Amino acid sequence: MMERPHVNFEVWPEAMELGEMFAAEGFELALVGGPVRDLLLHRRSHDLDFCTSARPEQFEPILRKFGRDGFWDMGRKFGTLGAMRRRADGTEVQVEVTTYRTDAYNPDSRKPEVAYGDTLEGDLSRRDFTVNAMALRVPELEFVDPFGGANDLAKGVLRTPVDPRQSFDDDPLRMMRAVRFVAQLGFSIEPETAEAMYDMTDRIRIVSAERVRDELVKTLLSDRPRAGIEALVESGLADIVFPEIPALELQIDEHHRHKDVFEHTMIVLDRAVALETDDDGPVPRPDLTLRLAALMHDIGKPKTRRFEAGGKVSFHHHDVVGAKLTRKRLRALHFDHHLVEDVSELVNLHLRFHGYVDEPWTDSAVRRYVKDAGHLYERLNRLTRADATTQNRRKAMVFASAMDEMEDRVRELKKKEDFDAIRPDINGNEIMDLLGLEPGPMIGKAYRHMLDYRLDNGPVDHDVAVAELKRWYSEQDQ
């Protein structure tokens, strides 16, 4: 028999206190799941999950007394009640307590039909992975590990407590959770479990888009998003939930023919993560918008690939096509509208800077770049830098130097004018008065022209702007 790893618990005082309160009423209480796993990993958490032999109506008075700073019962129908307590140092600890459960699943839904169980071991058997199927009875501090979770934790392996096919058939979202734990914990998926995932990917179709999205977000915001995305693709789940990503595997990148676009995308994702800033910087880590843009910046390449003379491959307008595909996929996953638009715009603009490397822009072109990027300017520059993955050191230095130069110019120009406040020298009402027109499409065209004129020339005298407006209008078809 494999020796059980040494366990040295330094348990939250709130957990011990709550355990004593339950024991005084004759009920069992055990810390379960993530908090136990994190104790073994020497990580701390402010959110504590427990399970108990008591029914909700029995332990509600205990939890209300414990949670002097908050109580909630949204999960009552699942046997779960929660409470919050604020410590003397101002930090909060949240606890959720659930009655021992034995779940029965409808094959057409991942939502369990809740049935209360009688034992802690039975409750642990219904959990997703062995590393989350460990418990610590409180206040006696008895470690309960019926499925070898501590050993799997030590080996960095994800394995289901019961047969993986049964587990994933019961709740297909567990397959997405496996991918997420690869990213969050740096673990690998045990071969039999991985095989079951590969064979059962179609079951993920019964899971709501919101649930899939939430797991994807947690994966991308982890310390190892690349590992999570690679696991998503290797498992076959990406073919269903994010098909644009595995579609990159067979597309040869025109700049790096020795590796496919998927590999390039993974490198860009790693580089984008490395370019995030601390909390005081312009792109505090982890930044979901930047990471999604890095992941999706080249998804337009499969649809735009063309084989040219001489064996060359082109992907003309893959930025524009990719932006449309990005918008469609993120909407299908029910992402927030503003996030969808921001990520799509980053994909649309990700090639914009490349012309600067060959021929530095005029000040007007720099203004236009900043104006078009808007609040995405800092993210766009980081995405552009991350996308420059050439192995040619001279080309890499030239590109980096050009980006540095452009950013320096922007800083200097911003000292002279507020880019965010750039408007035409003549507003819409003046345009209507000067041209003698009512509101309509022509006013919009005139306004856009005057904005372009402002970006190209900087601020000008009012008379100069009026003359330009009249000159432009005289050339329009009336």
Q: Any idea what the CATH number is for the domain that residue 179 is in? A: 1.10.110.30
Residues 405 and 442 in one domain: no
159 Cβ contact partners less than 8 Å away, ≥ 6 residues apart:
129, 130, 152, 190, 192, 193
Number of domain units in the chain: 4
- Compute the radius of gyration of the chain from its Cα atoms: 29
For the chain, give the mean pLDDT.
90
My answer on whether 65 and 145 are in the same domain is yes
pLDDT tens column, 368-401: 899 889 999 999 999 999 999 888 899 999 999 9
User: CA-CA distances (angstroms) from residue 57 to 81, 97, 118, 122, 139?
Assistant: 10, 12, 16, 21, 22
Residue 170 to residue 188: CA distance in whole angstroms: 22
Q: Taking 80 as the threshold, does the pLDDT of residue 3 lie above it?
A: no
Identify whether 254 is part of a domain.
no
The whole-angstrom separation of Cα 82 and Cα 176 is 26
Specify whether the CB–CB gap between 130 and 147 falls below 8 A: yes
| pLDDT at residue number 108 | 63
Query: Would you say residue 261 lies in a domain?
Result: no
User: Does residue 15 carry a pLDDT above 50?
Assistant: yes
Q: 128 with 208, same domain?
A: no
Residue 44 has pLDDT above 80, yes or no: no
Do residues 35 and 138 both lie within one domain?
Answer: yes
Q: Mean of the pLDDT values across residues 304-332? A: 89
**How far is residue 77's CA from residue 162's CA, in Å, rounded to a whole number?**
25
Residue 247 maps to a domain:
no
Going by pLDDT thresholds of 50, 70 and 90, the confidence category of residue 416 is confident
In a domain, 326, yes or no: yes
Q: Please give the pLDDT value at position 250.
A: 62
Same domain, 333 and 200: no
pLDDT higher than threshold 60 for residue 5 = no
Contact 275, 387 (CB under 8 A): no
Beta bridge partners of 137: 30, 142
306 pLDDT more than 90 = no
Q: Is residue 1 domain-shared with residue 145, that is, in the same domain?
A: yes
Residue 48, in any domain of the structure: yes
Question: What DSSP letter does each residue of 56-74 carry, written as one string?
Answer: HHHHHHHHHHH-TT-EE-T
Q: Residue 29 maps to which CATH number?
A: 3.30.460.10
Tell me, yes or no, whether 6 and 146 share the same domain.
Answer: yes
Stated as kind and residue range, the H or E segment containing 303 is helix 301-304
302 and 285, same domain (yes or no): yes
Domain residue limits at 125:
1-153
Supply the angle between the helices 261-274 and 377-387 in degrees, to the nearest 10.
130
Only one residue has tokens 């055990």, namely 30
* Domain shared by 125 and 65, yes or no: yes
212 found inside a domain:
yes
Q: What is the pLDDT of residue 475?
A: 86
Shared-domain flag, residues 189 and 136:
no
Is 208 found in the same domain as 182? Answer: yes
Co-location of 372 and 451 in the same domain: no
Does 430 map to a domain? Answer: yes
